Chain A
Amino acid sequence: MLRIKGLVRLFECRNLHHCNVARQKVDRPDASRIGQANHFKDEEDVTSVQERALFEQVFENIMKKEELRKKNSSDIFLDAFSIDTSDGRSENGSDGKRLQVVFEKKNEEIQATDKKLFDFFKNTSGNSGSGDIGESAKLTTDDIRNYPVSLVSSIFADTHEKNANETTSLSSGKFLKNMVESPTKEIRFQTGLDLRLSKEVLKKLEAKERFKAAIGDVLKPYLSLTYEKIETDYDLLEYVRTLLHQYTNRDKSSDVTEISSPDSILTQISEQCEVNNKVLPQPYRITLPYILVNLLQCKEFNFPSERNYTIASYIYRECKRNADISLYLNVCNVDFYNLLLKLSWDNFREIHQLKQLTTEMSINGIRGDIHTIEILDKVVHDLRHLNDGIFDEETGKIEGNQLAIGVVWCRENSMDLMTVENYLKKLKESLI
Chain B
Amino acid sequence: MYRSSGYMLVPRLYFRLSTFNVNRFARRLIQSNSTDPRLECKFVDEEADESRHENSIHDVKSDLDTVGEFIPEDDRNVMSQHPNITRGKKLKPGRANIVVLDAKQSGLLKQRELPNYFKRRNGDSRLSILEGVELGTDHELTRYTDSKSLLNEVNGTRSNSSDVLRAIESQRKKLLIFKSRVSKEQALRSIHYQKPSTSVLSRKRYDQIKQLLESAYTASQLKTYAKKYYNLSSGKITKSEIISRVINECWQCSVSDTMNETEDLVLERIIDVNTRDMYLLLLTNNGKILNNFARIGATVAVALDENIVIVRGTASIIRYVEVSLNKILGNVSTLRVSIKDIISHHTERNSVKPFDMEELISLVQRESAVYFERVSFDNEDTGDAYELSAFGSKRVLNARNLLLWGVKYQPQLVEKISFHCLSEPSSFKKFPFTNTECLDWIDKTKEWCRLQMPLAKISSQSTKSVGSEVKMNSSDEKLDEWYDFLMNENNNAKMVDLKLDREPSKIFSMTLGQILRPLEENDSNKGRIFEPKITQVTSKLLELPLYDSLCTKDELFTVDQHEYYVQLKFIPDLSTFNDQTTNAPPIEIWFELDDYDNAITSTARCMVQMEQKSLLLQTPQLQHDYKISTDLVGELIQTFEENQEDWLADQPGIKEFLQESHLTFNSKKKLVIPRSINVDLPTKSSVNKSAFIPIRYDYINANYHRVLRLFYMDKYMVQFSDVNGGPLGGRYTQVDFIGGESLSRTDFKRFVKDISKCF
Contact = CB atoms under 8 A, between A and B. Distances in A.
Interface of A: 2-4, 6-7, 9-10, 12-14, 16-19, 21-22, 25-26, 31-45, 47, 51-52, 55, 58-59, 61-63, 65-66, 69-70, 73, 76-77, 80-81, 83, 87, 90, 98-105, 107, 129, 131-132, 135-137, 143-155, 160, 230-235, 237, 299-307, 309-310, 313-314, 316-317, 347-350, 352, 356, 389, 401-412
A205 B302 CA distance: 44
B578 interface: no
Contact of B294 (A9, A21, A103, A303): A103
Given A17-B37, A37-B671, A41-B667, A231 B456 contact: yes
B145 interface: yes
A105 B282 contact: no
B300 A76 contact: no
B110 interface: no
A90 B456 CA distance: 51
Contacts of B670: 9, 12-13, 16, 36
A99 B301 CA distance: 10
A262 to B, nearest CB: 29
B455 interface: yes
Given A100-B303, A302-B465, 16 more contacts: A4-B120, A6-B131, A21-B37, A40-B665, A40-B702, A41-B667, A42-B667, A98-B304, A103-B294, A160-B186, A232-B454, A300-B460, A305-B535, A350-B733, A402-B553, A403-B556
Contacts of B674: 33-35
Which 10 pairs, one residue from A and one from B, show the smallest C-beta to C-beta distance?
A40-B726, A406-B556, A234-B454, A44-B727, A232-B454, A347-B535, A404-B542, A103-B294, A3-B132, A306-B535
A300 B137 contact: no
26 contacts: A14-B38, A19-B32, A21-B37, A25-B32, A35-B673, A38-B727, A62-B278, A62-B283, A73-B374, A77-B165, A83-B176, A103-B300, A143-B177, A147-B190, A148-B190, A151-B312, A152-B297, A237-B431, A317-B434, A347-B535, A348-B535, A349-B539, A350-B538, A352-B731, A401-B542, A411-B560
Most A Cβ at <10 Å: residue of B32, B312, B722 = B312
B542 A144 contact: no
Contact of A317 (B196, B365, B436): B436
Interface in B504-534: 533
Nearest to B549: A403
A157 to B, nearest CB: 8
Contact of A407 (B123, B145, B177, B542): B542
Most A Cβ at <10 Å: residue of B121, B302, B546, B673 = B302
Contacts of A356: 437
Contacts of B287: 55, 58, 101, 103, 137
A234 B431 contact: yes
A2 B727 CA distance: 16
Contacts of B539: 349, 404
Interface in B278-320: 278-279, 282-283, 285-287, 290-291, 293-306, 310, 312-313
Given A103-B300, A409-B560, A10 B134 contact: yes
B366 A302 contact: no
B268 to A, nearest CB: 5
Nearest to A44: B727
A70 B375 CA distance: 11
B143 interface: yes
Nearest to B136: A36
Given A42-B726, A80-B165, A300-B459, A103 B542 contact: no
A12 B453 CA distance: 55
Interface string B165-186: 1001100100011001010011
Given A3-B132, A150-B209, A62 B282 contact: yes
Interface residues of B, number: 147
Contacts, number: 360
A37 B673 CA distance: 6
Nearest to B167: A80
Contacts of A12: 670
A216 B696 CA distance: 66
Interface string B703-728: 11010100000000000001011111
A88 B290 CA distance: 31
Contact of A347 (B465, B536, B562, B597): B536
A299 B461 CA distance: 10
A260 B724 CA distance: 49
A144 B279 CA distance: 20
B162 A76 contact: yes
A303 B455 contact: yes
Contact of A90 (B305, B433, B708, B729): B305
Contacts of B182: 146
Given A35-B140, A306-B536, A58 B671 contact: no
Interface in B545-561: 545-546, 553, 555-557, 559-561
A353 B169 CA distance: 49
A61 B32 contact: no
A240 to B, nearest CB: 10
A349 B132 contact: no
B362 interface: yes
Nearest to B38: A14
Most A Cβ at <10 Å: residue of B177, B205, B285, B667 = B667
A137 B291 contact: yes
Contacts of B290: 101, 103, 137
Given A9-B134, A51-B286, A39 B300 contact: no
Contacts of A230: 457
Given A32-B143, A147-B190, A389 B432 contact: no
A104 B300 contact: yes
Contacts of A347: 535-536
B728 A38 contact: yes
B209 to A, nearest CB: 6
A391 to B, nearest CB: 11
B135 interface: yes
Contacts of A303: 455, 457
A65 B305 contact: yes
Most B Cβ at <10 Å: residue of A160, A301, A310 = A310
A313 B434 contact: yes
A227 to B, nearest CB: 9
Given A80-B169, A103-B287, A232-B455, A37 B672 contact: yes
B674 to A, nearest CB: 5
A136 B38 CA distance: 31
B28 interface: yes
B711 to A, nearest CB: 11
B734 to A, nearest CB: 13
B275 A66 contact: yes
Given A7-B131, A41-B665, A36 B394 contact: yes
B300 A55 contact: no
Given A62-B304, A404-B542, A412 B31 contact: no
A100 B435 contact: no
A80 B168 contact: yes
Most B Cβ at <10 Å: residue of A9, A58, A313, A401 = A58
A143 B180 contact: yes
A409 B169 CA distance: 62
Most B Cβ at <10 Å: residue of A19, A150, A155 = A150
Contacts of B294: 103-105, 135, 137
B123 A129 contact: yes
A63 B372 CA distance: 11
Nearest to A19: B32
B282 A58 contact: yes
B6 interface: no
Given A18-B32, A40-B726, A410-B560, A299 B460 contact: yes
Interface string B116-145: 000011110100101111111101100111
Interface in B405-444: 429, 431-437
